[in-house]
Amino acid sequence: MRAARKVANRRTPQALFGGKHLKYVIAAKSDLCDLSGMKMPPKPRSVSRYDVTPKRIAMLCFENAQGIDVTGPLSVFSTAADLLGPAPARAYSQLVLAPSTTPIAISCGLRIMPDAPFDTANLAEIDTLIVAGGYGVREALCNTALIDWLRTAEGRVRRIASVCTGAYLLAEAGLLDGRRATTHWRYCDALAESYPAIEVEPDAIHVKDGNVYSSAGVTAGMDLALALVEADYDRGLALEAARNMVMFLKRPGGQSQFSAALAAQDDDEGPFGKLQHWILDNLDADLSVPTLADHVAMSPRNFARVFARRTGTTPAKYVESARLESSRRRLEDTGAPIDGIAHACGFGNAERLRKAFQRRFSVTPQDYRRRFHASAGD
């Protein structure tokens, strides 16, 4: 009874902060969450070695925008600001812009309350303007006021960025003319065809051309946001933010690598899906076309034709991509000798691995490890 009275008399998070603010309790006041089963450490803080210059990040969204395009990059900036701690002013403040302040439904079903209509925003107060993508881009392209406003933003904000098919809005406003840019891999060809003045890079995760940035689809907007944090501060802060969000700081490879493992999932239970999983588990085995064809009881010629139709790539290219992905992960996560990695991943020797690595990534395995090993920049 005594213990029960003690719990009953304890001030709850609701009492401390008010019920409507409860959703912030664990994130912002985790040191106060000491109820049974709710013990959590305080939020992490970065080493206070940075000169913080407050920056306002504006996210332009619209009805049926892709949810992660909106929330993903904003979460990266928020995480970085949390890590920087209580400076005289928060490192990143956020502003959500839309055609009006009427709540809008984004792709995942959530409703967002915009802070302001885009045409009322003071561009002089915006450091970075990010344009979301998603299926709603089709309707947004017909909003001439929005397109005109994007044109006026050029030169008045420090940098402009697009996530996923948000690149179409920048393209329609002419902001990508004569520039390199990317978008979701499904739409790269269509973007290049619709806007021939753009040099579309279909394999890039994100592209910087001057003060205009673009990223590939969906979660790639978070990769771009991490790159912007790194540009504003340094690799150490961006890496710390990535670790807190359980992300790569620099995602290995380009869009075309999504991916040997993902391709296997397309036919997960079928014979080709099982074969692809077997390949991933046996990279050091004989993975020639005749050997793989035997696994699915097909002739080599028919196997190669069907494999290419099912996966969009040849057996040889799939095997090399799988071996390179595994090699890259080992270079990032382990200190294993490069020759040992080459043997374990099926290249036979370090020279063959080096040639394949340079052909695909334009960098040697040694240089890649120096840049991306888990201990780099710590």
Active-site amino acid positions: 164
**Among residues 183, 240, 283, 225, which one has the least CA distance to residue 92?**
225
> Is there a contact between 20 and 42 (Cβ–Cβ < 8 Å)?
no
Q: How far, CA to CA in Å, does 16 sit from each of 21, 34, 37?
A: 10, 12, 18
Query: What are the b/e assignments for 230-239, b being 16+ CB within 10 Å?
Result: bebbebebbb
Helix, strand, or coil here: 106? coil
Enclosing H/E stretch for 162 = strand 159-162
**346 φψ region: left (φ > 0), alpha (ψ -120 to 50), beta (else):** left
DSSP state of 80: H
Peptide bond into 215 cis (omega under 30): no
